Chain A
Amino acid sequence: MPRGAALSAERRPDDRRAAAAAAGSSLRRRRFTDRLTWSAAGLCLVLVAIPVLSIVIGIVGRAVGNWHWSVLTTNTSGNGGGLLNAIVGTLVLMLGVAIVAGAVGIAGGIYLAEYLPSDRGHLLRGASEVLSGVPSIVLGYVGYVVLVVAFHWGYSLLAAVIVLSILVVPYVTKTTEVAISGVPTSYREGAEALGMRSGYTLRKLVMRPALPGIATGLIVALAIAVGETAPLLFTAGVSSKSPTGALTHSPVGYLTYYVYNGFNASTKPGQIQAADAALILLVLVLLLIVIARVLVAVTQRYSPDRRQRMGRAPTVKAPT
């Protein structure tokens, strides 16, 4: 046994630990170290699970104790009241992001995957990656000084949707590009051989298998957008009424604002409102995650061969 370890230590002379394991320690001690390591790794699992459970139980516990269904049907009033305006506002923002970020992101992803070889377009791909690293508060600030002030839009739906879309477009672009790149080349070659036009091939043969992957990316992007607060504070403003449908000069209420507003409230209604808003947010995000997962699972179940070729969604991939 130690001989094997010694062999490998010779090959990797930089790894002093392996050398030490080979030189001195008995088998029993090595087994003990092994157990210890994996126990520590198991502890890491517990450390991942505890915050999830603590957050979910904590938020649900705070909200459910004082839950009234009227929260879902009445507007905010004063320091408490319902959250209908915020729920509608959040959904309208989601819809806006789905339209704007969906259109731009998916179209951009198609272009990168289909029309730009991977050895070209470093500028576009790089810009997308850099944009994805820009902190959301910086986007919110720029949205405020440019869209809200310089363009005279005021706190508005349009400003909020544009800022949120800039936030998530890189993600949508990337997932679209990866999904489309995963469609086998033979599909395109076959279509070309049959004399199909490239646009027709794209719509009929390439987009269809890639669609679940693209949809998953879009859903995840929506989950990101739903959870944002900082960029919305200075672009969407605050409103205790449901959105009017006006694109500019009309502030929009949203759920994350009421969590931020009421988290350290001194009055009971404010605290309850924050907990309720947090619960609704959690439910919304969980719903989006579950939809995305179901989408991935269904796609893989009904196309077992595609799974290996496309290598999508590594969560289910066997480590072979």
Chain B
Amino acid sequence: MATVTDDTVTTDTVTGDASPARGPSGAGPPDPVPPGSGGPPPPPPSSPSAWWRAERVMPHGLRVAAWLPLVALVLILVALVWKAMPAIRFNGFGFFSRSVWDLGGAYSPIVSTGGIRHPQGATYGAWPLIVGTLQSSFIALLLAVPVGVGTALIVVEKLPARLSQAIGFFLEVLAGIPSVVYGLWGFVTLGPFLAHHVAQHVANVMPNVPVLDFFRGVGPHNTVGNGTGLLVVGVVLAVMILPIIAATTRDLLRQVPRASVEGAVALGMTDTEAARAVTIPWVRSGIIGASVLGLGRALGETIAVAMLSGVILGQTTTSLYGNMTTIAATIVSELDAAFNDVSGLAVSVMAELGLVLLVITLIANVGARLLVRRVSTTALPVGRGV
């Protein structure tokens, strides 16, 4: 949606901080002054002192606003680490390898281990959540990248302007649909469709051998469920990240110099060969960057996954159709239960999960931005990857 690209670099548009006044200039009626810029309407030329003050103060007000995201980021990190500290000390490194999720009994006594108060029997392990997060995001990428790149290619190379505008509108709608609506759609439409018309057929023909048995159903009866689980989550995530990948790739492809592509065609290449030899290599790292950006969105997606994964804690799924969960979905679906832990450890564990998710997502996001920036000045869509 409105992917603002073409980051026109302007090194030369810098007006100095509070440049000196050079005499009265025409004072007009008050304008739609941007909120926060703090400039009062221009007074009559006879009172230059008020002018002076507005000129002097405004850059400082703007600077405060520009620093706020950094301040917010630091505060978020501090708050997360502060809340996660007890859990980090309690769980240790085993947190990343254990496959168990036990809050301890609701009425069991609160005991203290290493100075951390916790209900007796509490054990936490994030391995299934980390695996689930990576599995679902991997499926999403596997489906969305070819479709996204294909869409971008045909939109830029073949379609007339009007039609590519229509496709652009479809992509914007896809990007704009709230994730909770994706969840509802996955639950009532896509999930049942996949379970009844696709998954069962695939599961039935797959032999029970290593690797391929991942595509078989759950358990001895080869069941594929009724529309929740890893496959549905992966497909819905793919649809959600598709517009990011397609729109970013499309904007990158538009920057490929036409002369090079036309030269390739003039040398006798077919359009496909020109695309393979010239266009795609030109934007290759940009496409990787766009994909990783989509990956960042898929890793952090919460509510749709919580609705569709059939949240299973403490075990990894052995089947493509089995119920699972991700880090983000666990936080949103288990936080209510965590409040019941009077020792506060469960809430702290959520902070540790948040920290793990944050680190994984940041690595993906920063990596993507560095990759894309290296090839072009195109501004990636910021925000929720819209």
Contacts and interface: CB of A to CB of B under 8 A. Distances in A.
A193 to B, nearest CB: 10
Interface residues of A, number: 150
B80 A108 contact: no
Nearest to B76: A142
Nearest to B155: A45
A223 B176 contact: yes
B264 A41 contact: no
Contacts of B283: none
Given A3-B268, A223-B1, A178 B7 contact: yes
Contacts of A298: none
A153 interface: no
Interface string B330-370: 01100100000000000100110010011001101110010
A37 B272 contact: yes
Contacts of A102: 35
A134 interface: yes
A135 B299 contact: yes
A288 interface: yes
**Across the A-B interface, the 5 shortest Cβ-Cβ residue pairs:** A227-B178, A171-B383, A135-B300, A4-B268, A4-B267
A92 interface: no
B158 interface: yes
A21 B32 CA distance: 60
Nearest to B173: A52
B2 A217 contact: yes
A64 interface: no
A112 to B, nearest CB: 6
Interface in B1-31: 1-19, 21-23, 25, 28, 31
Interface string A25-38: 00000110110011
Contacts of A55: 177, 181-182, 185, 189
Contacts of A47: 147, 151
Contact of B179 (A130, A229, A318): A229
A197 B358 contact: no
Contact of A314 (B6, B18, B67, B176): B6
Given A108-B65, A117-B14, A145-B79, A40 B150 contact: yes
Interface of A: 1-5, 7-9, 12, 15, 17-18, 21, 30-31, 33-34, 37-38, 40-45, 47-49, 51-52, 54-56, 58-59, 62, 99, 102-108, 110-119, 121, 123-124, 127-142, 144-146, 166-171, 173-175, 178-179, 181-183, 185, 188, 192, 194-204, 207-208, 211, 213-214, 216-217, 220-221, 223-224, 226-230, 233-234, 256, 259-260, 263-264, 274-275, 278, 281-282, 285-286, 288-289, 292-293, 296, 310-320
Contacts of A15: 276-277, 281
B108 interface: no
A217 B151 CA distance: 25
Contacts of B347: 145
Contact of B335 (A169, A234, A313): A234
A117 B14 CA distance: 6
Nearest to A230: B302
B379 interface: yes
A280 to B, nearest CB: 10
A45 to B, nearest CB: 6
A146 to B, nearest CB: 5
Contacts of A181: 7-10, 13
B210 interface: no
Contacts of B69: 108, 124, 127-128, 131, 166, 169-170, 173
Which among B62, B174, B347, B365 has the highest number of chain A CB atoms within 10 Å? B62
A114 B386 contact: no
Contacts of A274: 184
Interface of B: 1-19, 21-23, 25, 28, 31-37, 39, 42, 51, 54-55, 58-59, 61-70, 72-73, 75-76, 79-80, 83, 146-148, 150-151, 153-156, 158, 161, 164-165, 167-174, 176-185, 187-190, 239, 242, 246, 251, 253-254, 258, 264, 266-273, 275-277, 281, 296, 299-303, 306-307, 328, 331-332, 335, 347, 350-351, 354, 357-358, 361-362, 364-366, 369, 379, 382-384, 386
Contacts of B21: 197
A106 B36 contact: yes
A217 to B, nearest CB: 7
B24 to A, nearest CB: 9
A253 to B, nearest CB: 14
Given A130-B362, A142-B80, A320-B258, A224 B62 contact: no
| From B1, B72, B181, B269, residue with most partner A Cβ within 10 Å | B181
Max chain B Cβ within 10 angstroms of own Cβ: one of A37, A99, A105, A133: A133
Nearest to A296: B2
